[in-house]
Chains A and B, each alone.
Chain A
Amino acid sequence: MTDKKPIISMRGIVKRFGGVVALNDVDLDAYAGEVLAIVGDNGAGKSTLIKILTGVYQPTEGAIKLDDQPLEMSSHADAIDVGIDAVYQTLALADHLDPAANMFLGSELTKKVLGITLLDNKKMRSETERVLMERLGVRLRSLDAQTDSLSGGQRQAVAIARAVYNTNLRVLVMDEPTAALGPQETARTLKLIKALKEQGLAVILISHSLDDVFEVADRVHVQRRGQNVGVVKTAESSTQEVLGMIVGAKEDAA
């Protein structure tokens, strides 16, 4: 991995909220075709870090580079424009709409009829079917049913499909994708993440579950009290070691 250039590279990121230092001098690199997990205790700065990466927050200090080019983002929309998107823990789905409507929520496909812009439901439907099948290998039983009738994993797939429909997408941040899922659904979601990785996306995964992390991630970025206390390769590490880094066992022993 190290011989490749990172897609995204964050250097010396500091974020202060008033007097509180949420992030202190954090570096982060993400590579194409790799899953990077960010782990850490509550309040370790994971969410703040990804919010900076996805343009929701702006760093107090530090720089972000995308393909070696300096990147300035003033909103989440800017991040989407350069190919960075996030799937939130809540998935941001509207349960009463069908999956196709949800997948295109906020960026609907339209067509002009007599000069009036109308939603192109048929196209959105076929595109949803295509993206779910081609990119995620998911087939929904019915595209007409409301989204709340889908299983947790299928809902996850719809939310991911929304992000990957943007062909420009290069970095996908996933916030606790497996937190609310049962074992079977978790396995399916992890499979989705692997599929995205194969397709050359840089996936950044935030998770509390070290089992899931070691299952899909290539590297683990450990946050503790706003600082990056290390990045380890999952192939060369163990859950015990990462756990130790999360709670700071090593430091205390020293």
Chain B
Amino acid sequence: MNMPAANIEKQPFAERIEPYMAIIAPMAMIVAIFLFMAVASPTRFFRPDNLTLILQDAALYMPMAMAMTYVITLRGIDLSVGSVAVLSSIIMAFLVKQYGFSIYVGIPIALTIGALLGLINGLIITRFNVPDLIGTLAMDLVYKGLALLLAKGLVLARFPEVLTELGRGQTPFLIPTPAVIGMLVMALGYFALKRTYFGRYTVAIGSSPESAELTGIGVNRHKVYAYVLCGACAALAGLMLTGKQNAIQATMAPFFNLHVIAAVVVGGTSLFGGRASMIGSFSGVLLLAMMLNALVTLRIEFFWQPVASGFVIISSVALYAWIQKKDRDGAMGFFAGLKSAEGRKTMQLVAIIIGLLIALLAIGGITAGEVTASG
């Protein structure tokens, strides 16, 4: 996080490293966490099994982060990954547990259902012209509802070993099986971004849909591809989660959506499209997993977790916005804007709201009566 300071002093250097900022920024944050933990709680954080745990947590998000990188690069967003993961896993669980399907059929079925749900998302967005945000948000409700309808409150548990291996298996080299799968998927995603039509057109469409259309690229078709990929990867994550817990219920994975989007955005993939960074997404996933793990290791109350996630997201996105602003000469420092008329009006609003809150608290405090137990 101390990169900006270096940028101001040495402009040419800043220009040279700019293309790599997407990788440098999350890496710098990861190193910062490492250093911080080395001071704060080295024995607990750097235990091999804790590092394995971090990888295992991160692994769950890797496939989805890979697919989400494509979707976001296309100027889309998929808010339904969480419920796609749960719904496809629940269907798989029912087939395996209630109907005696082989797990070797069940896993491909779950992935196919994920792809199908993604296809529905994609078609709704491209055929009915529903904006990505609304379309996937609404379908998230639909899929979540269907999962609840199917499973009721049931917890389906105890699955064949293949699935638990997928979720919490351990390779001989310290790295958990899910992490191997996750990294493999991300590596494939990285490769596809550079070397396939799909990857190239994803960037082109996100960069300028009009230009892509003019050069004869099937814009809607590639959008649908991205959502199908996202659905299938969400299903894979669902399988990994089911394997990890060796159980599945409809209310699992509530934080999937925003966590995945956060990891991708922290990694430097632009929400405005065209700028993809697969390595950034990978570091983003690792960063969030490490940060959450660090909070646990430091025995900080669990509920600080979303607060910390929010801070990381805001600071990284603000950093990227700052990097991309080419003309920094006119800014005259962060607080210069406050001196303008616009800035003063904003400050007035700030003062009014804070003043109002203080006044109300004071009135409440003065007139406070006896305290009665709630409930």
Contacts and interface: CB of A to CB of B under 8 A. Distances in A.
Contacts, number: 64
A97 B200 contact: yes
Interface of A: 76-77, 88, 90-97, 101, 105-108, 117-119, 121, 162
A92 B194 contact: no
Contacts of B217: 105-106
Interface string B186-218: 000000001111011001111110111011110
A43 B163 CA distance: 66
* Residue from B203, B204, B206, B275 having most chain A Cβ neighbours under 10 A: B204
A100 B190 CA distance: 19
At the interface, is chain B mostly helix, strand, loop or mixed?
helix
Contact of B207 (A88, A91, A94, A119): A94
A76 B200 CA distance: 22
B214 A118 contact: no
Contact of A97 (B195, B197, B207, B214): B207
Given A88-B214, A105-B215, A106-B217, A94 B274 contact: yes
A105 B196 contact: no
Contacts of A162: 215
B21 to A, nearest CB: 13
Contacts of A97: 200, 203-204, 207
A212 B299 CA distance: 72
The 9 closest A-B pairs by CB, nearest first: A106-B215, A96-B274, A94-B207, A92-B214, A96-B207, A94-B204, A92-B211, A106-B216, A105-B215
Interface of B: 194-197, 199-200, 203-208, 210-212, 214-217, 274-275
Nearest to A147: B207
A108 B200 contact: yes
Contacts of B207: 94-97
At the interface, is chain A mostly helix, strand, loop or mixed?
loop
Nearest to A101: B200
A119 B208 contact: no
Contacts of A108: 197, 200
B371 to A, nearest CB: 59
A119 B197 contact: yes
A118 B214 CA distance: 23
7 contacts: A90-B211, A101-B203, A105-B217, A106-B215, A106-B217, A118-B195, A121-B195
A105 B236 CA distance: 32
A16 B206 CA distance: 35
Nearest to A111: B195
Contacts of B199: 119
A237 to B, nearest CB: 34
B210 A92 contact: yes
B58 to A, nearest CB: 27
B69 to A, nearest CB: 14
A111 to B, nearest CB: 10
Contacts of B211: 90-94, 105
A144 B329 CA distance: 27
A107 B217 CA distance: 9
Nearest to A145: B19
B197 A94 contact: no
Nearest to B204: A94
Contacts of B203: 94, 96-97, 101
